[in-house]
Amino acid sequence: MLRRSAFSMIELMIIIAIIGVLALVGIPAYEKYRLKANIGEGTSIISQYRKSIAIMWSTAGRLPTTGDVLPGGPVDLPYNKLITTGLPSSLESLLLHEVDNGIGIKMVFAEDLFPEYAANNRTIYLVSKTKNSNVMFECGNFTKNPASSEDIGFIDQSLLPSGCNYNGLVNWISNY
């Protein structure tokens, strides 16, 4: 005699519930992972420009100024010119410019990655200044309150890599 086996309705409902719970937990975790990967790509690009600044400092003894073009990343970065083309899809723009007592590279992430944030809240900076014949770097938010829609800074600091989560770059670069 053949015995037929099948799942009961209760067993199927339990499996569906387990799949639903896994989806509720897994989808947000995957989204956060995807955003962190895109931000990691951006900070990797910034680190290439950081090397170029360090090389300019060691060979020319100065930081970039008007007329300079910083090699590196996906595009060469001219001083004080907003770059919006030739960038990876995760980036909206790059700008190398003077910031108080040093220079900064402003990186704005693409709007489609963070549609709920204004451009100033999708921004991270790499700033550099000189002190005692050395060049120093910091990466992160430009203000102390990135959660404010008026401030320039990355609003979700939990997504920033550990090497690029400094708050208050405006104070760091202004004060010696």
Q: Mind giving me the DSSP string for 5-30?
A: ----HHHHHHHHHHHHHHHHHHHHHH
Residue 11 has pLDDT above 60, yes or no: yes
Residues 6+ apart with CB under 8 A from 175: none
* Pick from 51, 25, 28, 35: nearest CA to 159: 35
pLDDT by residue (tens digit) across 17-45? 999 998 888 888 888 888 888 888 888 89
Domain boundary assignment for the chain: 9-174
11 vs 27: CA distance, rounded Å: 24
- Do residues 81 and 95 touch, judged by C-beta distance below 8 A? yes
Superfamily of domain 9-174 in CATH is: Glycoprotein, Type 4 Pilin (3.30.700.10)
Instruction: Write down the pTM of the prediction.
Output: 0.80
**What per-residue confidence (pLDDT) applies to 105?**
93
Q: Residue 74, Cβ neighbours under 10 Å: how many?
A: 15
pLDDT of 51-84, one tens digit each?
999 999 999 999 999 999 999 878 999 999 999 9
User: Is pLDDT above 80 for 3?
Assistant: no
pLDDT tens readout for residues 132-160: 888 999 888 876 665 666 667 777 777 88
